[in-house]
């Protein structure tokens, strides 16, 4: 049976949910199918959604509300969506409790960190000294900088023997203080955190780049393969 990856969508102020099809295609390319959480903030329904799925994908999107990590909104912070924050915080707590695999991308990475009590740079450009441009022009998903994989982290294992991999970069925010239970597994050369994982979870990885946009590179593909493999194992376990 094919595993089901639950996707948390963007939730617009216009009352519409959406998921870029690049996420859907990435999940399918590794042998799973996706299911998008419908437009709801009903906790019971979100819990039921988590029960149905074998793994969870937290996607990119608008900035997380700074109040959630104890800061007032800087003028450089971008658009926020309190409804999406609420839905995803509920969904993340439930997904984490389920023990099923979680992959979080870009905003998803920031959301996971905040959900676990960490904080964010509201705007790298105005709060962090760096020569690297982390926020590429809209739509430019070409390789922007390298990330150094921490030796013997699970991500290092997933990517093979390479210590540094090239990634795209579409974020103007990043992890400032680390959420509880998370460890850094990749950094840009300027020290910005680019990937974290939870050692006590079976599979919880959060990356700051967009692997779903560069599936033609082996590293991006390997990450989705590892995620879907973990979801397959989860599914086999529940079917036994």
CA–CA distances in Å: residue 180 to residues 54, 92, 145, 150, 199: 24, 14, 27, 19, 11
| Of the residues 59, 168, 169, 220, which one makes contact with Mn ion according to CB under 5 A | 169
Work out the number of other CB atoms within 10 angstroms of the CB of residue 125: 12
| Smaller CB separation from Mn ion, 134 or 235 | 134
Site map 114..143 versus Mn ion, x via CB under 5 A: --------------------x---------
Among residues 106, 109, 134, 171, which one is catalytic?
106
| Smaller CB separation from Mn ion, 90 or 122 | 122
Using only C-alpha atoms, the chain has a radius of gyration, in whole angstroms, of 17
Per CB under 5 A, which region of 64-72, 83-91, 149-157, 166-174 contacts Mn ion? 166-174
CA dist 5 and 148 (Å) reads 28
| Smaller CB separation from Mn ion, 110 or 169 | 169
Does residue 171 carry a catalytic annotation?
no
Does residue 221 carry a catalytic annotation?
no
Does residue 180 carry a catalytic annotation?
no
CB of 137 to Mn ion, least distance (A): 14
| Smaller CB separation from Mn ion, 134 or 222 | 134
Would you say 68 and 120 are in contact if contact means Cβ atoms under 8 Å apart?
no
Q: What six digits make up the tokens of 165?
A: 């991999």
Query: In the complex, which residues of this chain contact Mn ion (CB under 5 A)?
Result: 134, 169
Active site amino acids = 106, 210, 212
């Amino acid at each position: 049976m094919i595993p089901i990856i639950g996707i948390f969508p963007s939730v617009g102020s216009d009352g519409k949910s959406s998921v870029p099809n690049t996420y859907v295609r990435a999940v399918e390319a590794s042998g799973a199918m996706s299911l998008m959480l419908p437009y709801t903030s009903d906790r019971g329904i979100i819990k039921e959604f988590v029960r149905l799925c074998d793994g969870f994908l937290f996607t990119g999107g608008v900035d997380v509300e700074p109040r959630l990590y104890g800061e007032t909104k800087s003028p450089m912070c971008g658009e926020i969506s309190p409804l999406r924050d609420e839905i995803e915080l509920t969904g993340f707590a439930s997904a984490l409790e389920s023990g099923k695999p979680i992959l979080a991308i870009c905003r998803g990475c920031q959301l996971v960190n905040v959900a676990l009590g960490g904080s964010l740079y509201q705007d790298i450009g105005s709060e962090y000294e760096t020569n690297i441009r982390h926020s590429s022009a809209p739509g430019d998903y070409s390789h922007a900088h390298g990330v150094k994989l921490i030796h013997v982290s699970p991500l290092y294992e997933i990517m093979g023997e390479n210590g540094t991999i090239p990634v795209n970069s579409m974020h103007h925010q990043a992890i400032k203080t680390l959420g509880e239970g998370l460890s850094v597994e990749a950094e840009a050369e300027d020290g910005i955190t680019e990937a974290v994982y939870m050692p006590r979870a079976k599979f919880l990885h959060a990356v700051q780049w967009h692997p779903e946009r560069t599936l033609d590179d082996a590293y991006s593909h390997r990450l989705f393969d590892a995620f879907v493999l973990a979801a397959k194992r989860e599914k086999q376990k529940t079917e036994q």
